[in-house]
Amino acid sequence: MRSRDVAAALVGELRDLGFPSSVVLQRAYLPLTELGEVEALHVTVLINGRTTTMAGRGRMQIDHRLELAVQQRLGSDDPSAVDSLLDLVEDLTRTLSARRLAEAPDAVWVQAEHAPLVATEHLHELRQFTSLLTLTYRSWETV
């Protein structure tokens, strides 16, 4: 299974969660968006890495690391705006944990890491909320 297939399956899973149509859901290789484009909530799935190890005779274990970047420009310095976006990312963590991806049922969820909770340099310099959730899914291949 290719990492791009797991990433595409994760985007499909996110679409099935019923985000409003104003939310931009996408798969990309760069999480960069123009500041003016971040007025709407952006959820971007990126391939972060892939680790391949032997899992037994003639079988490879592949860990696909995907990043879920959640970004939105903030209109004020009110901490409640950050709180609500951070709640969204934490809710996504709970929802996606231990869940099979419908479009990649052979990929098994392994772990989630949420760091940074909030990218402080984006908050300070761009007045933009950015949070990264790294998800690891595992698949196996016969060699």
Q: How far is CA 53 from CA 89, 97, 137, in A?
A: 30, 23, 14
* pLDDT number for residue 78: 82
Is pTM, for the whole model, over 0.85?
Answer: yes
Q: Which residue in 104, 109, 117 sits closest to 135, CA to CA? A: 109
Q: Express each pLDDT in 20-57 by its tens digit.
A: 888 999 999 987 666 556 678 999 999 999 999 999 99
The total number of residues written for the chain in this structure: 143
Choosing among 3.30.2000.10, 3.30.160.270, 3.40.50.300, 3.30.1490.20, the CATH entry for 3-142 is 3.30.2000.10
* pLDDT number for residue 35: 58
Instruction: In whole angstroms, give the CA distance from residue 16 to residue 101.
Output: 11
